[in-house]
């Protein structure tokens, strides 16, 4: 499908502050997945939409935390939410929610019944996470694995040492295609 006047208007980002900012429609898709207000303690003063916009800005531009523009929340706040959401699995839940939405829009069952696994060895620095040596590719680093469904949507991803053999592996989750976490 090519670009039409309608799709150009739909995906235009000129009026936005940054091209990486979420549109109202995009925000409406992921905001239900974010944590609600806490019952106890001081009310939250940080706007989650601005935090997500800041994270998308960093992911798009590749800038360092400290180099984030000043119209976003403080980098320490954004960084704190990123690490907290990563630890709680929020990004995986958002991805799962979006994959199911797209599958339903395409007239498919929400949960995929088949997937394709692929892996790639990538160079890394010495610090952080598992690493090793992939003799076949002559790379010292990690292996990243992804699972995509029949529409090409990413269903799961994880990192291992390069010595890990995908042919003999089990997926990290017992039910990677489950729709049980939809909500």
Query: Does 104 fall in a domain?
Result: no
H and E: helices and strands count for the chain: 5, 4
**CA-CA distances (angstroms) from residue 176 to 2, 92, 152?**
33, 11, 15
Closest CA to 115 of 45, 32, 39, 171: 171
Q: Within 13 Å and on the Cβ side, how many CA atoms surround 102? A: 16
Q: How much is the pLDDT for 180?
A: 41
- Higher-confidence residue of 67 and 127: namely 67
The tens digit of pLDDT for each residue in 8-43 reads 777 777 778 898 999 998 999 999 999 988 888 888
| 52 in any annotated domain | yes
Does residue 49 share a domain with residue 10? yes
Confidence of residue 130 (pLDDT cuts 50, 70, 90): low
Q: Where are the beta strands (DSSP E) in the chain?
A: 115-123, 132-134, 139-149, 154-160
Q: Are residues 13 and 49 in the same domain?
A: yes
The answer to whether residue 176 sits within a structural domain is no
Q: Give the separation between CA 142 and CA 147, rounded to whole angstroms.
A: 17
What integer best gives the mean pLDDT of the chain?
81
Domain that holds residue 141: 112-168
Structurally, the chain folds into a number of domains equal to 2
Of residues 144, 103, 106, the one with CA closest to residue 123 = 144
């Amino acid at each position: 499908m090519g670009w039409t006047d309608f799709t150009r208007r739909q995906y235009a980002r000129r009026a936005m502050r940054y091209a990486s900012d979420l549109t109202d429609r995009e925000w409406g898709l992921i905001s239900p997945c974010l944590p609600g207000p806490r019952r106890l303690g001081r009310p939250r003063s940080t706007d989650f939409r601005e935090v997500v916009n800041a994270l998308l800005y960093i992911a798009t531009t590749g800038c360092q935390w400290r180099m984030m523009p000043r119209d976003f929340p403080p980098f320490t706040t954004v960084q704190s939410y990123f690490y907290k959401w990563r630890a709680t699995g929020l990004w995986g839940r958002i991805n799962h929610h979006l994959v199911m939405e797209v599958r339903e829009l395409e007239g498919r069952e929400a949960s995929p019944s088949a997937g394709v696994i692929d892996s790639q060895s990538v160079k890394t620095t010495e610090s952080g996470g598992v690493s090793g040596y992939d003799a076949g590719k002559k790379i010292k680093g990690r292996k990243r694995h992804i699972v995509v469904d029949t529409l090409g949507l990413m269903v799961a991803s994880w990192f291992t040492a390069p010595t890990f053999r995908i042919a003999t592996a089990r997926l990290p989750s017992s039910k990677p295609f489950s729709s049980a976490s939809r909500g």
